[in-house]
Amino acid sequence: MTTARGSATATASELPGAGVHRLEAHKVLELLGSDERGLAPDRARELLAHYGPNVLREQKQRPVILTFLSEFTSPMAILLWVAGLIALVAGIVEIGVAVFAVNVINGVFGFWQEYRAERATEELKKMLTSCATVVRDGDVCQVPSEELVPGDLVLVTEGDRISADARVVEANDLQVDQSTLSGESRPVHKNARSIDEDLPMAQLTNMVYAGTTVSSGDGRVVVTSTGMHTEFGRIADLTQSVHDEPSPLQKELGRLTRQLSVLALALGAFFVLVAVLFVGEPWGRSFVFGLGMIVAFIPEGLLPTVTLSLALAVQRMAKQNALVKKLSSVETLGCTTVICSDKTGTLTQNEMTVLRLWLPGESYEVTGRGYAPEGQVLLDGVRQDVASNPGLRALLETISLCNNSTVHEPATGEQEWSVQGDPTEACLLVVASKGGLDVDALHRDRPRVKELPFDSRRKRMTAVHRVDGRNIAYVKGAPQEVPQLCSGIIRQGIREEMSDQDRRDIAAVNDDFARNGLRVLAVAIRTVEAGVDPTGLTTEEAERELTFLGLVAMEDPPREGVSEAVATCHRASIRIIMITGDYGLTAESIARSIGIVRGDDPRIIPGPELERMSDAELTEALRGEAIFARVAPEQKFRVVEALQAMGEIVAVTGDGVNDAPALKKADIGIAMGRTGTDVSEEAADMVLTDDHFGSIVRAIDEGRGVYENIRKFLTYILTSNMAEAAPSVVFLVSRGVVPLPLTVMQILTIDLGTDEVR
C-alpha cells in the first residue's frame, strides 16, 4: 500500500465490506462478485478504476516553505528582528548583523527538528507489503498491493503481512498477530465461520486486517475494504487529524515576549515624550535615548540561550535511553502532571513465567524464571516428577498439547531462549519441561486431529488428539468459564462429580491468584465418545461434560527499578494512570505492587464501561485512582483528551499502530524503541531505547531541571535589564546633569555578551 493524492475512491457507503462477518463464506464471495477462481483481470481493472488504489491518502500538507518561514515569525523571533532593526537604525551594524544571525541559526535548527518529526504517515506506508498473492481467473499471481480491490481472493501464509481488510474464506490453523492494531499480544486464531452478532474489530475471528501479520498456518481471504476504508486507514486518518499544540514553554515564552514587547515599547515612548517635554532634549537625541530604553528591556539572548539549554538536555537524555525528537518536548516533560502508561513491557518485563499450579487439594510452587526450562515443580518443598504424580502429569500434558507455541534453545552466540507463538502458551511448555515431561515426544505420540481455536467470546481453546486409539479433548481457558462446563473433577487421582462448592473453591483460588498479580488459566479434559468423528466436532459437542484438572497461575513480573521510579513520580506530584489490555484484577495487583495504586478502592474501568460513560462521568472518574482495561484506540485517545480538558499536562506511552492517535494527541508522546512499531515512534515526541518506565522518570527529572534553569535565566535577564535601564532613568530625572553612561551599542553588547556567556 502506498500513498497518493487525488486518486478516485469510493465512499464508505459504496464499499461492500460492512457486515460481511455475518455471512457464510460463499455468500461473501457472491456479494463481492467473486468465486473460487477469483476475479477476472478485466473485472479487477474496472473495480480498481471505481474504488481507487489500495493506498493511504495523505492529508494535504502545509507547504514546506511556509513551515520554514513560520520559524521566523514566532513572537520571540519577531522581537529579535526588532532588536536587530533597532541596532541598524542606531548605526550599530555589527550588533544588528549578529542578532539577525542568531535568529537565522535558531530558525533553521528548529525547522530541521520539526521536519524530521512529522513523518507518521510515511511510516504507515512502510508497514504494508508491496505485493500480494492473488487468484485471478483461476491463476495464482503476484500483484502490487495497491492494485488490490474488493472481491480479490488472496492467499496468505505464515510470515505474510496482510495488505487489505478481508473476510476469511478458508483457514488451516491460521493465526494472525493483530497487536499493531488491537494492542493484544496473543495471536488470534482465524476461521471461516460466520458470526451472527456485531463485535469489536479485535474479536471478529473471521476477519483479517491490513497491517497485521500471519503468525502461523495459511488460508484464503477475500478482500472487503481497501485504502482509507480499512481499519488501518481509519487509524491513519485519526492520527492525521490531530494537530500539534504549542508546548507549555512555547506558550509561556510567547506570553512573556508579548508582555516584554509592550512594556519596552511603552516605556521607550514614555521616556521619549518626557525627554522632549520636560527635559527639553531635542527629538533626535530623545529618540536615541528611547531606543536605549527599548533595547534594555528586550532579552536578545533569551531564545538562543533557551535553545542551547534544550539541545544540551537532549544530548544528556539520549545517554539515559530517552531520544527526544523535539527540543520543546524537553521542557514539556518537566511540566508533566499525568503519565498514562501501558503495563506489559513498560512496567513489567513482558516475560511470562508460571509460578503456581493448583490441583484440587494440592498447591504446587514452580521455581525458575524466564523461558529456559531450568527449575522445579515443588509440593511442600519436595520436587515432583510426572512419573509418580498422575494428577500433575494430566495437567502438564493438557497444557502442552492444547498449545501452538514452541520454545527454542539459544542460537550460537546468544544467551536467551526464544519463543515462537504466544508467550503465554510458551511458558506452559516450559513448566511442563520443569515437571519432567518430554514435550516433543508427547506431540509425536499423540497427533492432533482437530483444533477449536481460542475465541474471545467463549474464552477457551480445545485441541483433540489421538491417544491409544481414543480421541481426547484437551481444554484450557478462563477460570470463570471452564468450570461452568465441567461435570467432574479429579481429586487425589479419582474422578468425582463436581459440586457447586467445588466451583466456589475454584473461584476463590482464582481471585486469590489474581489479587497477587497472577494471570490464571483453567485446565480440563474430556474423552470423545467412540464412533464420533473428531474432525466434525463443534465447540458445543467438544466442550461439554468436561473433567476439571486444575489451575495454572503465571506472572509477568514488574521491571527492576519501576517501584522506585513510581515513588519518585508521587513525590514530584505526578499521577500515573495504567491503561492496559489485561484482566482488571491482575492489573490492579500489579499497580498496587509497584505503588501506582495506594488507596483501598481504586476504580477499574473496562473498555465497554468507558464506552458508556459520559464526559462528565469520565472526568469524575479521573479525579480519583483509576485503571483502564481493554480499551480501543479511540478510548485511549478519549482518556487523554479528558485529562487535557482538566488542565493536566499528559504523557502517554505506547508501542502499536493503535497507540499512534493517543501518542500524537498527548502533550508528550512516548514510544517504545525495542517493541514499538515505526508508526508509534514517528507519532511520538520521545522514544525509549530500553522500554523502561524508569527512563521516563529520569527524562522528566531532566526536563524539570531545564525548566528551573530557564526560570533562573529569565530572572537574571529581567533583573540585569532593569539595571541597564537605571542609568537612563537617572539621566532623565537629573534633566541631563548626569551624563548618559550607556549608549545603545553598549547596552546591546552587554546583553548579547553576558546573556550568551550565562
Active-site positions read 342
Q: Which amino acid is at 369?
A: R
The answer to whether residues 558 and 593 touch, using CB atoms and an 8 Å cutoff, is yes
124 to 55, 620, 752: CA distances (angstroms): 10, 36, 45
Q: Which amino acid is at 474?
A: Y
Count each helix (H run) and each strand (E run) in the chain, helices first: 26, 30
Is the distance from CB of 537 to CB of 528 less than 8 angstroms?
Answer: yes
Phi–psi pair at 144, nearest 5 degrees? -60, 140
Question: What is residue 274's three-state secondary structure?
Answer: helix
Q: How far is Cα 652 from Cα 338, in angstroms, rounded to an integer?
A: 9
DSSP-derived secondary structure letter, 556: -
Among 51, 79, 69, which residue's Cα sits nearest to residue 751? Answer: 79
What does DSSP assign to residue 484? G
* Helix, strand, coil shares, percent, the chain, to 5: 45, 20, 30
CA distance 649 to 333: 9
CB atoms within 10 A of CB 271: 22
Residue 96 CB coordination number (10 Å): 19
Q: List CB contacts of 541: < 8 A, sequence separation 6 or more.
A: 532
Q: Is 739 exposed, middle or buried (0-12, 13-18, 19+ CB in 10 A)?
A: exposed
State phi, psi for 616 to the nearest 5 degrees: -65, -40
Buried b (16+ CB within 10 A) or exposed e, 399-425: bbbbbbbbbeeeeeeeeebebebbbbb
For residues 45 and 55, what is the distance between their CA atoms, to the nearest angstrom? 16
**By the 8 A CB rule, do 212 and 299 touch?**
no
Report helix, strand or coil for 14: helix
Query: Nearest-CA neighbor of 433 among 517, 376, 353?
Result: 376
Q: Which residues are paired to 524 by β-bridges?
A: 475, 548
Q: 565: how many CB neighbours lie within 10 A of its CB?
A: 21
Residues near 247 by Cβ (< 8 Å), separated by ≥ 6?
326, 328, 329, 331, 332, 667
Cα distances from 637 to residues 3, 146, 392, 406, 606, in angstroms, run: 25, 29, 46, 36, 15
Q: Report d(CA 619, CA 615) in Å as an integer.
A: 6
As a dihedral over the C-alpha atoms of residue 585, residue 587, residue 593, residue 599, rounded to 10 degrees, the angle is -70
Q: How far apart (Å, rounded) are the C-alpha atoms in residues 326 and 155? A: 43
CA distance 59 to 66: 16
Report the alpha-carbon distance of residue 486 to residue 530 in Å, rounded: 20
Q: How far apart are CA 271 and CA 266, in angstroms?
A: 9
For residue 203, the tally of other CB atoms under 10 A from its CB is 17
Q: Which residues, at least 6 apart from 194, have a Cβ–Cβ distance to it below 8 Å? A: 21, 22, 23, 24, 25, 206
Positive or negative, the CA dihedral 654, 657, 659, 661 is: positive
- The count of other CB atoms within 10 Å of the CB of residue 152 is 28
Q: Which amino acid is at 68?
A: F
